[in-house]
Structure 1
Amino acid sequence: MAELKYMPGFGNECASEDPRCPGALPEGQNNPQVCPYGLYAEQLSGSAFTCPRSTNKRSWLYRILPSVCHKPFEPIDQGHLTHNWDEVEAEPNQLRWKPFVIPKASEKKLDFVSGLHTLCGAGEPKSRNGIAIHIFTCNTPMINRCFYNSDGDFLIVPQQGKLLITTEFGKLLVEPNEICVIQQGMRFSVEVFGDTRGYILEVYGAHFELPDLGPIGANGLANPRDFLVPVAWYEDCQVPGDYTVISKYQGKLFSAQQDFSPFNVVAWHGNYTPYKYNLDNFMVINAVAFDHVDPSIFTVLTAKSTRPGVALADFVIFPPRWGVANNTFRPPYYHRNCMSEFMGLIKGHYEAKEEGFQPGGGSLHSMMIPHGPDAECFEKASKAKLEPERVAEGTMAFMFESSFSMAVTKWGLKTSNCLDKTYYKCWEPLKSHFTLSCK
């Protein structure tokens, strides 16, 4: 595989042209009467035209043929992709899933799109307010197929297997312990190299952004310069009537045929791009005296709602770090939350549940559902000698946290056959330590 090229950029104005076509970017204006190399100018808008300059998102694409050249879209099979949050009864219990099964290619070939399974979500793509959490399990590349999401942004978290994602802006190689964001409307195709699995957080009605740092100051958490965007790359490929464009529109899938590759963008400039990030670059902030800092201190990206301080969704990670708090029960405390928390595990052993919570699986504790460390973790941490220790070494757990009350799909509760029906038993051994004598 040829080395891929990237440049730093998170919401910043960037420009790139394929080195095979020097001068492909017009000079001095966005839409000249005749573009260099006879290209077509096309704008991709990720915000309303009248948004304030600081939040206005758009990119100009200079392409061999415009994306409008396709046959009409027709409905196609949904598979296990849905936004019907009422297909099964509400589930008020703590939920945990074993690693989601990846079918063998010899038994059933699944590419990235056909391997999408909606696990839970809330809200409505038509009204542009909500989220969905999907699992992808796939074993074969997308061939002469691309996908784009009219409903929202995809934050993709690979857990097993690397993804070579071709976008209109260029190529992204995304491996486990990295994430990428494909924003609303961007066309992409995914090549995989064997059994592949991961998680997707989809948001309707907002884009991901870096959280405000407040009293932390100017530095910390995820640094903008560590987010990478692809360098322009194009293919001038004719596929007479045999290239399929798949659209996710109002929660349903549609396909259209065209005669050429959609990845025919020779040059582009703007601030609305796909991007990737290596989770190892996250600068952890943590307690150095006593008690816990709220887990929001581990936020990598946030998608804000219209209510100040309340997110549609946050992407939070729990990376390797030092634990030094004095006179403190160091694992996560027992809690109930007005937010919903979906957790996934990319690798390693999560410190609060070292046995039952496995890489490639997940857990969901929706609004006000109590949860916390299992009995074994509680007993161990309550008796531990408190000295500086490495926490989560070799581990990367993450959380999709949302202000929505999550509904679980039929696939998540029944069809996947991955639901761990014994999850509640991890708290059964907890016993009372109550005594009237206090030290």
Structure 2
Amino acid sequence: MTARGEIGGFGNEFSSEDSRCPGSLPEGQNNPQVCPYGLYAEQLSGSAFTCPRPANKRSWLYRILPSVKHKPFTAVPCGNLTENWNEVEPDPNQLRWLPFIVPKSTEKKVDFVAVSGLHTVCGAGDAKTRNGIAIHVYTCNTSMVDRCFNNSDGDFLIVPQQGEILITTEFGKMMVEPNEICVIQQGMRFSVDVFGETRGYILEVYGAHFELPDLGPIGANGLANPRDFLCPVAWYEDRTVATGYTVINKYQGKLFACQQDFSPFNVVAWHGNYTPYKYNLNNFMVINCVAFDHADPSIFTVLTAKSTRPGVAIADFVIFPPRWGVADRTFRPPYYHRNCMSEFMGLIKGHYEAKEEGFQPGGASLHSIMTPHGPDADCFEKNSVAELQPERVAEGTMAFMFESSFSMAVTKWGLQTCQRVDKSYYQCWEPLRSHFNPNWNNPILV
């Protein structure tokens, strides 16, 4: 179903053909006068034609019928999917959401892109100018049938939290489980099968693609390794749909649908460096502090979508995996801080070390630009007096962060409609008390 690959362009070429049609991948040229098996050649470009070679992203698809064969697109309801960042007044408060509710299948059938399947929580920027991000959650309970989705606005980084998802793409199939992620890049058509009540998070970026962060002084090894990313193996279905197959297109923040009479997953072979891919978070090689103090969360970056400013990301995907804590003479949990980035956190499983109560799997938090945040009072008191021995941190836990240089606005659904905002969140810091003593002499610091 998947094969090893590398991401980020860098001239890497991958190819695959369905074993049912050996030799379906043309030899020696991309677009022969007649393709093997009578297939159509179609190129999917993820970058401008004239991009420098390391950033040039494209794949050739050899398909039974080209994707251009469809009826006209017409607008369809967007539900809670939006790019309107002015629905409600800005809110600089620390925000936390209780686990987002998954509809019961006995009450209502909801698939991945149904009106109530995708929900925009927050975001910033503009898909028209190709500069911005959006953060969504998906809550669904049934598979997509004779329906597929493609995003003309940007890339989807999908983080399953509850329930595995089987994603069928034009390039093949990927099974993605909680504690794995996948990226469906701009323009790629896909359908999602689920196996019960299902929930997860999505980071969408406009105008940039995800890539591995630079390693700098870390050297050649560490963080996410290219060899651990998997891309699909070619798989096709030659199927006509008399009642019509629906293609749903997200375009300029709105949804449109068209009909065609055949499956879009009719690609027999493909080659290129522009593919969907998945990654198991257990494969992340943690870099951590081994002396004193608390290293910045940037050391946990899995993927980044760079901006035009060096070192400043449109969005980073950061995880907080199980690891050893060995820092000496140090308050080990995250420090109190304010910064110039927006931080949206989610929890896949377990208990996050700095907030063991209240922050739950399937929920989220948002700490906006320059909004102060940090460990709750209980975490501070406990770790201020803890005996510092080497210890496992975050065992059985996987928290993550979507970090962005954009000042994100929360949607009306996120603040009001979903009714999952934890209005007591601020109270976790209320018990913090002054320990100041002007006559104090700490022998540790002398």
Shorter-normalised TM range:
over 0.9
2:358 is the counterpart of 1:361: no
> CA contact under 8 A between 2:294 and 2:333: conserved in structure 1?
no
Paired AA for residue 427 in structure 1: W
| Deviation sequence 1:277-300 (CA, Å, 0-9, x none) | 000000000000000111000000
Q: Where in structure 1 are there 5+ consecutive unaligned residues?
A: none
What residue number does 2:166 align with?
A: 164
**Partner in structure 1 of residue 406 of structure 2:** 404
Q: What is the distance in 1 between the residues matched to 2:307 and 2:301?
A: 16
Structure 2 residue aligned with 1:62: 62
Residue in 2 that maps onto 1:312: 314
> Partner residue of 2:268?
266
Which structure 2 residues correspond to residues 24-423 of structure 1 after superposition, within 5 A?
Answer: 24-114=24-114, 115-423=117-425
Q: Deviations over 1:195-223 (max 9, x none)?
A: 00000000000000000000000000000
Would you say 1:8 and 2:10 are equivalent positions?
Answer: no
- Kept after mapping to 2: 8 A contact 1:241/1:258: no
Count of residues in correspondence between the two structures: 436
- C-alpha separation in 2, matches of 1:331 and 1:108: 42
Deviations 1:130-175 (A, max 9, x none): 0000000000000000000000000000000000000000000000
Note if contact 2:80-2:119 (Cα within 8 Å) is conserved in structure 1.
yes
Tell me which amino acid in the other structure corresponds to 1:327. R
Given residue 74 of structure 1, which amino acid in structure 2 is its aligned partner? Answer: T
Partner of 2:279: helix, strand, or coil? strand
Q: Tell me if the contact between 1:126 and 1:250 (Cα under 8 Å) persists in the aligned partners.
A: yes
Q: How many Å separate the matches in 1 of 2:5 and 2:50?
A: 27
* Superposition deviation, residue 8 in structure 1: 2.5
Report the Cα distance in structure 2 between the residues aligned to 1:151 and 1:435, rounded to whole angstroms. 56
Deviations 1:96-132 (A, max 9, x none): 0000000101111110012000000000000000000
Distance apart, 1:242 and its partner CA: 1.0
Q: Distance in 2 between matches of 1:185 and 1:240?
A: 25
Taking the aligned partners of 1:7 and 1:258, their CA distance within structure 2 comes to 33
TM-score (norm 2): 0.97
1-structure distance, mates of 2:385, 2:304: 36
Secondary structure, counterpart of 2:196 in structure 1: coil
The CA distance in 2 between the partners of 1:433 and 1:190, in whole Å, is 53
Contact 1:164 1:192 in 2 (8 A): yes
Q: Is the CA contact (8 Å cut-off) linking 2:4 and 2:228 kept in structure 1?
A: no
CA distance in 2 between partners of 1:5 and 1:342 (Å): 30
The Cα of 1:241 is off from its aligned counterpart by 4.8
Helix, strand or coil at the partner of 1:54? helix
Match of 1:328, as an amino acid?
A: T
Equivalents in 2 of 1:417, 1:108: separation in Å? 19
Query: What TM-score do the two structures reach when normalised by structure 1?
Result: 0.99
Matches of 2:340 and 2:399 in 1, distance apart?
21
User: How large is the Cα RMSD of the aligned pairs?
Assistant: 0.6
The runs of 4+ residues in structure 1 deviating greater than 6 Å are none
Which residue identity is paired with 1:147? F
Supply the distance in 2 between the matched residues of 1:375 and 1:292 (Cα, whole angstroms). 18
Please list the CA deviations of residues 261-288 of structure 1 after superposition, one character each: whole Å capped at 9, or x if unmatched. Answer: 0000000000000000000000000000
Q: Tell me how far apart the structure 1 counterparts of residues 106 and 245 of structure 2 sit (CA, whole Å).
A: 25
- Provide the identity percentage: 81
Q: Distance in 2 between matches of 1:368 and 1:348?
A: 28
Write the distance in 2 (CA, Å) between the matches of 1:66 and 1:291.
57
Gaps of 5+ in 2: none
Distance 2:368 2:101 in 1: 24
Q: Report the secondary structure of 1:155's partner residue.
A: strand
Whichever residue aligns with residue 260 of structure 2, its letter is Q
The one-letter code of the counterpart of 1:359 is P
Contact 2:341 2:368 in 1 (8 A): yes
Structure-1 separation of matches of 2:173 and 2:190? 9
